[in-house]
Amino acid sequence: RLDRQVAIKLWNTDGQDAQAGLLREAQVLAKLSHPNVVSIYECDVHEGRLFIAMEYVDGHDGHHWRAWADPDWREVVRVGAAAGRGLAAAHAIGIVHHDFKPSNLLIGTDGAVKVVDFGLAALGDGPSLLRKYSSGQPGTPSTMAPERLEGRRGDARSDQYSFAATMWWFLFDAFPYSGKTAEQVANEIAVGGPFAVGEYPVPGTPPQVRRVLEKGLALEPEHRYRDMEAFVSALRDAPEWAANRRRRVLQVTAMSAATSMIVGLLGFALLSQSRDGGHTQANQPTEESVPAMPQTPESESSIDEALELLDDGEFQEAEKRWRTWHSDRYGKDLPIYEGSLRTGKAFLAKARDLKSREPALAFRLAVYADNVCKAAQLDPRFRGQLGETSTMLRQAELCEAEANDLWKELQRSI
């Protein structure tokens, strides 16, 4: 009647009491209104079966999204933080999901993030009729909290574990424990050892993000976060923590290099004085004596193709084209600065252009720009060089800083 697409889920029941209980619980779920939770529009009984009409999301579930979008770690953190806010909203009204996993997370083509399928949800500490009548096992072993594997009743902290296990899979291409059954996972937990990492982890994930997830994966619930909001806050702060640490390392490195240069120049001056009777003018280094950075020509065709793809709106393909070009040249110690800076600036300009109209897409492009401008600073010609390189590095650092500021601003608005 409202002329909108909906998704419909049906349950079979075996009596009026069960049916009434299911309906009451579905009605409570319908009260959960949050931008990161799929909305329930209607719940009723039709021909003896409970049906729930809910929001339709045009996009992918988490499993397909990882393969389709090939997200970098910042995009995974953005999606995860949004999903975590949805779970926190559910916890705030006493709803525990109990089966959060990649397939119960939807990412729309517009970048929207929605938690879905509260079919195993329980209200507070009570039993769940929806759990009783859902198909399959009550939960998924790969993402199930240890206390629930042991048969204990879970709570909101169990959702934290499932959330952390899901995020681990997104970033490291494997669930923390590789077992397929509850018994196999429980045995792995008992044996101990490091969490699993798959064949295709997301490159560049900061150790700070990993540590945030490891706390969420604590075996005992009391060792996890205070609540889901605290978990989300730690996850969102981790990139800034990583960036601040990187800036501190760069500052210390720069100071050390400057100190070494000053000491070297002083030593050179003293040595010249001792040899020339204090006359050092002819031997002092000048700006012209600094070694010039070799200008090896770059292959521009791949970069031009990447920029053409970007202009045509093929953003993911453009980023992949640059990444292939970069990997090939970096592995051969060939220059990457000029091409990377051109690409990074182009992504940044496009992100600014789309900022107000399509903020989720602009966020993604700003993240691309940030990554590409970082890569420009790793040009092999910069190793051990001074002088001309400092100006070039400042250009790449400025591009990175502007992209970093933009994606953080956009992250708060989507």
Same domain, 210 and 74: yes
Confidence at residue 168, expressed as pLDDT on a 0 to 100 scale: 97
Same domain, 67 and 178: yes
Tens of pLDDT, residue by residue over 307-318, are 999 998 999 889
Range of the domain at 90: 58-237
pLDDT tens, per residue, the chain with 414 residues: 556 788 887 776 666 666 676 676 677 677 788 899 988 888 787 777 778 888 888 889 999 999 888 899 999 999 999 999 999 999 998 888 888 999 999 999 888 999 987 754 544 444 443 443 333 345 789 999 999 998 888 899 999 999 999 999 999 999 999 888 999 999 888 877 778 888 888 988 888 899 999 999 999 999 999 999 999 999 988 876 445 444 444 444 444 444 445 445 444 444 444 444 444 333 333 333 333 444 444 456 889 999 999 998 999 889 888 888 887 887 777 888 899 999 999 999 999 999 999 888 898 899 889 888 888 887 777 755 544 456 777 888 889 889 988 988 887 776
Domain termination residue (choose one: 186, 205, 237): 237
What burial letters (b/e) apply to 128-145, b meaning 16+ CB within 10 Å? bbbbebbeeeebbbbbbb
Is residue 334 in some structural domain?
A: yes
Same domain, 201 and 337: no
Is residue 272 in some structural domain?
A: no
Is residue 140 in some structural domain?
A: yes
Same domain, 328 and 179: no
The CA distance from 163 to 79, in Å, is: 12
Is residue 183 in some structural domain?
A: yes
Contacts within 8 Å (CB) and 24+ apart, 270-275: none
Alpha-helical (H) ranges within 199-336 are 207-216, 228-276, 301-311, 315-331
CB-side neighbour CA atoms (13 Å) of 156: 21
- On whether the CB atoms of residues 376 and 344 are closer than 8 A, the answer is yes
Is residue 19 in some structural domain?
A: no
SS3 readout for 185-207: HHHHHHHCCCCCCCCCCCCCCCH
User: Quick one: which of 356, 359, 346 has its CA closest to 312?
Assistant: 346
Same domain, 88 and 157: yes
Same domain, 195 and 319: no
Domain termination residue (choose one: 212, 237, 262): 237
Same domain, 213 and 301: no
Same domain, 221 and 346: no
CATH number at residue 123: 1.10.510.10
Same domain, 230 and 352: no
The single-letter code of the amino acid at 406 is L
Same domain, 196 and 333: no
Same domain, 71 and 172: yes
Looking at the annotation, which residues are catalytic? Answer: 99
Same domain, 232 and 307: no
Is residue 288 in some structural domain?
A: no
Q: What's the structural domain count of the chain? A: 2
- Output the DSSP codes for 114-170: EE---TT-EETTS--HHHHHSSSSSS-GGG--HHHHTTPPP-HHHHHHHHHHHHHHH
The three-class DSSP label of residue 277 is coil
pTM: 0.57
Is residue 124 in some structural domain?
A: yes
Domain termination residue (choose one: 189, 214, 237): 237
Is residue 17 in some structural domain?
A: no
